Amino acid sequence: MSIDQAKAILNDTFGYEAFRPLQQEVISNVLKGRDTLVIMPTGGGKSLCYQIPACIFDGLTIVISPLISLMKDQVEQLDEYGVPAVFLNSSLTDEEYRYNVSRLRTGEVDLLYLAPETLMMESTRSLLGDLKVDCFTIDEAHCISEWGHDFRPDYRQLAEVRKDFPDAVCLALTATATPRVRDDIRQILQMKDSAVFVASFNRKNLLLRVVDKDNPLDQILDFLYTRQNQSGIIYCFSRRQVDELYLDLKAEGHLVRPYHAGLSEKERTRNQDAFIRDDIRIIVATVAFGMGINKPDVRFVIHHDMPQNIESYYQQIGRAGRDGLKADCLLLYSYSDKQKIQYFINQKEGNEKKVAEQHLASLIHFLEYDKCRRIPLLNYFGEEYNQEECGMCDNCLRQKGDLQDYTEQAQKYLSCVVRTGERFGAHHIADVLRGSKAKKVLEQNHDELSTYGIGKDWSKNQWIQLSRLLIRRGYLEKDTSHGSLKMTPEAKAVLDGNERVQGVLDRTQTGKEGIERPKTSSDVENKYDEHLFEELRLKRKELADEQGIAPYTIFPDTTLMEMSYYFPRDEDKLIGIYGVGSTKLKKYGSVFLDIIRDYCEKNDIEEREEAIQKKVVQTTSKQKHQLVGEEYSKGKSIDHLAEQFGVKPVTILSNLKKYLDEGNSIDPQEILNASELSQRKIDDVYASMKKVGPDMLKPVYEDLNKEVDYNELRILQLAYLAGNGTS
């Protein structure tokens, strides 16, 4: 079993030219029979890590998943690819169940999807005991840990069942796991010597923003107003909220559908397919939506309500911006949402309640953090973020000139909190400061306090906003049960006049006011012609519908943006555009060029001749290796370059070899990352090259007794020459 087989299946069966980061390493490890734990953020491509080995193994690959709907979706997708797979769960009729069992017994199935409770049934264990099982895969592996955000007791029993398959490699996967959860998973599954692959949690293209919830429908409508043709997901806490928001947005003319567990499976599937194929723009959903969705051009994710924990938040925003372009992640934050979550936590007991309390505290820390949001977010997952500013969150982008001094008002507010005995909430404090005649104020004799009426110059809403600022700054704490405000030790410095309080009072804005332009990738993303982009997008949709495929499989948005920025007029220029390789140029080039030419003629637009010519010169066969080398030197991976130039990774390696031969230097490390050989084997190849010379591969091939194929030798030849000089 070799990685070459895996690459062939990736291309021939699944239609992808190159692996995503870490996929190749994980698959190689699994094929070697080594237990593997994979933490790969949403959109990283976890499914292929077990689906490709399943196509190679002689025996069965079992996949444990807690989501019945996901099982069905994956089995249907695999069926489209021609990969034999079945599932066994409670959604099947007796006849369907018996049919799937018969297929398993005859050995015609590569993958079997099971819910944990189905696996634990005696009949299931007896059935599997008669079959050859080569791989035991646990998806959503965080469910096995009490410290995970979605602990399921049934998952705990998987460790015992795993002993039924002593010769099977164990693969555990999850999108979100803290270091503590990772250790827990390995310990429970007895994966002491397993390899652990952890992808970076930093999604640089996601713009993170938290705003105070204040009339959420208006806030969302304002947000959508400037994003008329963009795809997005809006998450709500309850089915009822989903239905209400869906109807409100539909009434405003938005192309929108709902998605939650209360809908029939047929309706959920129909709505999801409409979203993937761009027939609608927006999905309003509960957390039931999103698992297994691979739509790359989701431009925004809105949380109408607070998620229950950071893991859920991260998993959900991870569905945005998978194409690498900027995507907006907006969370509307209110105290009442926090109270809803606290209510459900209070129904729990013992350690389960303790864990949920810690998850909520971590989430609140992230939401009320006043510096770069990536610091607490990545730290939560055990990844250190060393920059002071990311340039892609509300706190980093807020202009320093927007900060105002609220020390005087803060002193009034804190004094009032003290004088009312630290027993009342923000609304009552605001009433006292404004001299309200409210019944509760008079009953408590708070109209006799020295702070009564000293804040009439501010509206009640302004005082409420100030209370939120003081909580974010750590001067006040809110009692989770009753909502009363209490002073922290840090507040004394403010009352004594030794510390100033500066900040932004109103975080309800979802537009650009007070926010600098985020750091996006290039002028192309900021200055492309939106009208031409829309025409190209409509043509892409038309072509996709004719072929029954998702639009993004024809060209990603990145490609359409470059077309709408450079305005190429002929095929010689179009070949310089990102993602346009020779195959797609031949298939789609003339169709898109006709639209570009017609648009430019009608609107008297000139081609960016100098800029596009530079790209074309750089990407012609004679000069392409120079551009590839320069782009590689900027830190782009081989997979990234393959997508950028619309070619296979082996072509990128060939171009880098030419670049090196011309006397340029390149870093060998990324080249080595493309190799599937162990360090021992790499050392053997290097020793052979040192002995017989690296310039000709045949002598090396024969010196190694033909045990290392030429694809690997080409990779290591380039890495060897890059590290040792071209001699």
Domain 3-198 has CATH 3.40.50.300: yes
Q: Where in the chain is the domain with CATH 1.10.10.10?
A: 404-503
CATH level 3 topology of 206-387? Rossmann fold (3.40.50)
As given in the structure block, the two tokens for residue 410 are 């803060």
Between residues 208 and 368, the one the model is more confident about: 208
Q: 528-724: what fold? A: DNA polymerase; domain 1 (1.10.150)
pLDDT tens digits, one per residue of 67-95: 776 777 678 778 767 889 999 988 788 99
The span from the first CA to the last CA of the chain, in angstroms, equals: 35
Looking at every residue in the chain, the average pLDDT score rounds to 85
489: which 2 tokens? 């030790």
Tokens 């599932």: give the residue: 87
Residue with tokens 């043509």: 539
Share of the chain above pLDDT 70, in %: 91
**What number is the average pLDDT over the span 598-616?**
80
DSSP per residue, 488-556: -TTHHHHHTTSS--EE-S-----SSTTBPPP--S-HHHHHS-HHHHHHHHHHHHHHHHHHTS-GGGT--
pLDDT band at 399; cut points 50, 70, 90: low
> Which stretch of DSSP H or E encloses residue 647?
none
pLDDT band at 159 (very low <50, low <70, confident <90, very high): confident
The pLDDT of 118-133, averaged and rounded, is: 90
Instruction: Give 387's contacts (C-beta < 8 A, 6+ positions apart).
Output: 372, 374
- Of 199-213, 495-509, 641-655, the poorest mean pLDDT is in 641-655
Write the pLDDT tens digit of every residue in 231-260: 999 999 999 999 999 999 999 999 999 999
- Per-residue model confidence (pLDDT) at position 17: 62
Specify the CATH number for 404-503; select among 3.30.420.40, 1.10.3720.10, 1.10.10.10, 3.30.43.10: 1.10.10.10
pLDDT in tens, 294-333: 688 899 999 999 998 898 899 899 889 877 788 999 999 9
**Is residue 60 exposed (0-12), middle (13-18) or buried (19+ Cβ within 10 Å)?**
buried
Q: pLDDT value at position 282?
A: 97
